[in-house]
Amino acid sequence: MNRDWIATARTLSQALPYLQRYEGAIVVVKFGGHAMGDDEAMQVFARDIVLMRQVGVNPVIVHGGGPMINEMLDKLQIKSEFVNGKRVTDAATVEVVEMVLSGRVNKRIVQAINQEGGRGVGLSGKDAKLMICEPDNPELGLVGTPVEMDTTILHAMFAADIIPVIAPLGMGRNGETFNINGDTAAGAIAGALKADRLLLLTDVAGVKNAEGEVVTELRAAQIRQMTKDGVIAGGMIPKTETALDAIERGVRAVVILDGRAPNATLLELFTEHGAGSLIRGD
């Protein structure tokens, strides 16, 4: 008998406790980075998400789309201003953001999931009042922070065997559209759902210590200390802040992992060694 076949069978057998462990669990996945711009990586990701749903997990996909937004703004010759490295989102810009996120990006992910046999449905935080926002910083214009969450629509989708794919847009109290950071949106949704896991897919292997080694498991206090010491810096800071905020809202654990690795989400959920950096509360 082929050794590869035996190894595959052994892997499936070893996955049984984890399949049982996550049956019925809610797992929010923030999808972004390299995998979004690569057709093959998108297909692999979609197949993994459909497999998760097939074995009883309730996955929720929250996606970004910064590079695609930049590309469209350039085409339309809409210039952006920045405050402390963050894009000022005016009325013209938010129209482009909504067009790209809710249209091009969202439907591409939905299509990939449906092609793999799943039942993906796209929506944004504006739908069914999923995310009501207030301005994050008045200087940034229509950049929002979720302040009220209504996950009724998501639970209805779970019951109907549907995989929600959510664009990070929200609605203001006066009907305005707000652009939301993708990680922030994913954390808010995971917290409102009291998700078992929030998986933040990035283009790095995980949280690294002072020696540059990936730390596979961390507590919230360690994250705070590493940030204070400057070990966690740059783009990893907002991701770890999202993780800590989600845990405070009731998410059981957050994993920061490399979305470039094939089958990263399956490795994390259904194998003993997992993938990336697992963050728990104190």
- How far is the C-alpha of 187 from the C-alpha of 254, rounded, in Å? 9
Residues at the annotated binding site for substrate?
65-66, 87, 179
- Beta-bridge mates of residue 179: 143, 169
The region, left, alpha or beta by phi > 0 then psi within -120 to 50, assigned to residue 212 is left
pLDDT digits (tens, 9 = 90+) for 115-157: 999 999 999 999 999 999 999 888 899 999 999 999 999 999 9
Stated as kind and residue range, the H or E segment containing 54 is helix 39-54
Q: State the maximum Cα–Cα separation within the chain, in Å, rounded to a whole number.
A: 66
CB-based contacts of 156, cutoff 8 Å, min separation 6:
none
Under the banding of pLDDT at 50, 70 and 90, the label for residue 160 is very high
pLDDT band for 222, please (50, 70, 90 cuts). Answer: very high
> What's the pLDDT tens digit per position in 191-215?
999 999 999 998 888 899 889 889 9
Going by the annotation, the residues of the binding site are 65-66, 87, 179
Question: Per the confidence metrics, is the pTM higher than 0.85?
Answer: yes
Q: Is the pLDDT assigned to residue 1 strictly greater than 60?
A: no
What confidence score (pLDDT) does residue 188 get? 97
